[in-house]
A and B are shown apart, each in its own frame.
Chain A
Amino acid sequence: MRDVELVAVTKRYGSALAVDGIDLAIPEGSYTCLLGPSGCGKTSTLRMIAGHEMVSEGEILLAGRNVTTLPPAQRGTAMMFQSYALFPHLSARDNVAFGLRMRGVAKAERLRRADEFLDLVHLGPLADRLPAQLSGGQQQRVALARALITEPRVLLLDEPLSALDPFLRAKMREELKRLQRELGISFIHVTHSQEEAMALADLAVVMDHGRIVQAAPPRQIFERPASAFVARFIGGHNVLARGAQAISIRTDRCRLDDGAEGPRHHGHVRAVEYLGAAMRIVVVAEDGTEAEAMLPDSTPPIALGEAATLTWNAADEHALAA
């Protein structure tokens, strides 16, 4: 059984094509990240699954049921909105209880359940606060509890971490993954951050210009990117020409010339960044092609403008589709 299945889903806004006939199958109880640059169609796709946008063509199946024309609340999905969209006039508890209220659950029961879900996201003590009295991270937990209380089969998250500072972001990331595992439901998470997708996803779906360019587990995407676009977008790769063929090589597999046999990239150093555990250097060749390398922090210092050669094992090269 699949939790979500998209069949040739297309979205047009007037004459503009936002999503171009995508097919996607999301396994039961999995964490999926829709990943891509802005305007790639990832948010439109999420909103179509939620039912906040109607598909122009194609079908959406949730747990095998065709929900293409159903309103959001009848789909078995719940959405957590970017910047949370909490009701400013309701306390955290009433915000969380809102979905049950709309479903006609009696007051005592829905408030009891709301408190349970607030406890689940560790916000029990702040239940009576208004959203304006909560920090960004706390507001996000309320939004999460509000989405989860209707016990959706699929939780849809629109850039859930983008409003948080980096420290909180990493913490919330763990929390999202923990909740997804504990609840055993599917999460579909839209992000433009490859780091987030790598950290969270069972299935990462890279999109560009309204199409899916690669859908695979993060490790597979990182080790065998399907195209130059994917290799560049997920980062950590050099994309170089090998005759007519484009190849990618991971930046952490590149090293400074040690005289060993192998492919090489010769030029001069344009940038040196000390990153703590590693050093990042960028080498520009005569013809302008750039390649970078993640070197161990123990690498002897190298000066800007110095001549340098990067080298790697031919076996680490990955041929890219045209």
Chain B
Amino acid sequence: MRGAVTSWLLAAPLALVLAVFLVVPLFVLVVVSFYDYDSVRLIPDFVFTNYIEVFGSMVTWRTYAKTFSFAATVWVITLLIGFWIAYYLAFVIEGTGKRTLLFLICTIPFWTSNLIRMIAWVPFLGRNGLLNRALVGSGAIDQPLEFLLFSDFAVILAFVHLYTLFMVVPIFNTMMRIDRRLIEAAVDAGAGFWRVLWHVILPLCKPGIAIGSIFVIVLVMGDFATVRLMSGGQSASVGLMISNQISLLQYPAAAANAVVLLAVVLMMVAAILRVVDIRKEL
């Protein structure tokens, strides 16, 4: 009996924090999403107009399509880059000291804020930026490349830069737990490099890939700052759409949009968890 009370007490602080900072705000969000509003005020009510507008507008569908395409592209690229960085760290590098050092180097970009890391691309990629000047100067091209900045390319580049490490860490973590003798056993059975990768390493890395994918997809789906800054306002994302509605004081519309986005992201996470059992990693 006393044990049960102790357990409840131990769990209470976190439960309280989650209640105050997660459950209550979410509840408010859902409530507000059913409010009515005009240009100056919120009108407490229970109307479905916000949701009807969300689902009825072509803008929503196009924005979701765009956001999904960002998420998919960034996911594929971060997975490819992240997997090989993790592979290099886990299997190619020998020696714990060297591995730790290289791993720390991977985290250096995180010593500064997301915003600064994004802005840092501007002088590099701009019309008169370093890259264009170098290319024009070397005679490789006549005209500066326009697509480098304020474009989907720039958005994806920034996302990949920001989020690849979220893929590296969990994959690296699962790779380090793979018994090296399994690889020898596969080689002994006649597997070459790619077959060891496909039949042994990849299946055993699935939990790490799933966790990394959740990080990246959730971050990209909810992003608004990167898209706004790197696309120069020429591209849209769901997050940006919500942010715009907030700046127009259309809180109920923004809330409805947010609830839909939350549901969509939760479904994506659920889908990933259905495919891969990550419990053994936790």
> B182 to A87, Cβ gap below 8 A?
yes
Contact of A85 with B by CB under 8 A: yes
A73 to B186, CA, bound (A): 10
Residue A79, interface by CB 8 Å: yes
- Inter-subunit contact B204/A73 (CB<8 Å): no
Chain B residues 189 to 231 lying within 8 A of chain A, measured CB to CB, are: 189-191, 195, 199-200, 203-204
| Contact partners of A99 in chain B: CB under 8 A | 189-190
Q: B38 at the A/B interface (Cβ < 8 Å)?
A: no
Closest-by-CB residue of A relative to B181 is A85
Which of A81, A89, A147 meets B184, CB within 8 Å? A81
Across-interface contacts of B188 in A (CB, < 8 A): 50, 52, 72-73, 78-79, 147
B 226-242 contacts with A by CB, 8 A: none
* B170-189 contacts to A (CB < 8 Å): 179, 181-182, 184-189
> Beta-carbon contacts of A21-63 to B below 8 Å, as 1s and 0s?
0000000000000000000000000000010100000000000
Report the separation of the CA atoms of residues A259 and B122 in the bound assembly, to the nearest whole angstrom: 103
Given A81-B184, A83-B181 in contact, is the A89-B190 Cβ separation under 8 Å?
Answer: no
Q: How large is the interface on A (under 10, 10 to 19, 20 to 34, 35 or more residues)?
A: 20 to 34
| Of the residues B181, B187, B200, B204, contact of A72 by C-beta under 8 Å | B187
Q: How far is the CA of A78 from the CA of B186 in the complex (A)?
A: 11
Q: Is the CB of A85 within 8 A of B185?
A: yes
Q: How far is the CB of B280 from chain A (nearest CB, A)?
A: 10
A146 close to B (CB within 8 Å): yes
Smallest beta-carbon distance A56→chain B, Å: 18
Which among B184, B191, B195, B199 is the interface contact of A85 at CB below 8 angstroms?
B184
A79 to B191, CA, bound (A): 14
Complex-state Cα separation, A52 to B188, whole angstroms: 8
| Per-position binary interface string of chain A over residues 75-116, scored 1 when its CB falls under 8 Å from any chain B CB and 0 otherwise | 000110111011111000000001101110000000000000
Query: Does B190 lie within 8 Å of A52, measured CB to CB?
Result: no
Please report the number of residue pairs spanning A and B whose Cβ atoms sit closer than 8 angstroms.
56
**B185 / chain A contacts, CB cutoff of 8 Å:** 79, 81, 85-87, 146
Q: Contact partner of B186 among A98, A103, A147, CB < 8 A? A: A98
Q: What is the bound-complex CA distance between A101 and B181, given in angstroms?
A: 19
Answer yes or no: A71 CB below 8 A from chain B CBs: yes
Interface check A138, CB cutoff 8 A:
no
A79 to B190, CA, bound (A): 11
Asked whether A150 is an interface residue with its Cβ less than 8 Å from the other chain, the reply is: yes
CA A244 to CA B81, docked complex, whole Å: 70
Inter-chain CA distance A312–B22, complex, in Å, is 86
Min distance, Cβ B241 to any Cβ of chain A, angstroms: 41
Q: Say yes or no: A98 contacts B203, CB within 8 Å.
A: no
Rounded to whole Å, the gap between the CB of A72 and the closest CB of chain B is 5
A89 / chain B contacts, CB cutoff of 8 Å: 203-204
A118 to chain B, nearest CB (A): 16
Q: Are B189 and A146 in contact (CB under 8 A)?
A: yes
Q: How far is the CA of A82 from the CA of B185 in the complex (A)?
A: 11
**Are A150 and B181 closer than 8 Å at their CB atoms?**
no
Contact in complex: A150, B184 (CB < 8 Å):
no
A71 partner residues in chain B, CB cutoff 8 A: 187
Whole-angstrom distance between the Cβ of B255 and the nearest chain A Cβ: 43
Interface pair A102/B204, CB less than 8 Å apart: no
Interface residues of B (CB under 8 A from A): 179, 181-182, 184-191, 195, 199-200, 203-204
Given A81-B184, A98-B199: 6 more A-B contacts, CB < 8 Å? A52-B187, A81-B185, A85-B185, A88-B204, A89-B204, A150-B190
Q: Can you list 23 A-B pairs, Cβ within 8 angstroms, ordered by A?
A: A50-B188, A52-B184, A52-B188, A71-B187, A73-B188, A78-B188, A79-B188, A83-B181, A85-B179, A85-B181, A85-B182, A85-B185, A86-B185, A87-B185, A87-B186, A87-B199, A89-B203, A98-B199, A99-B189, A99-B190, A102-B191, A102-B195, A150-B190
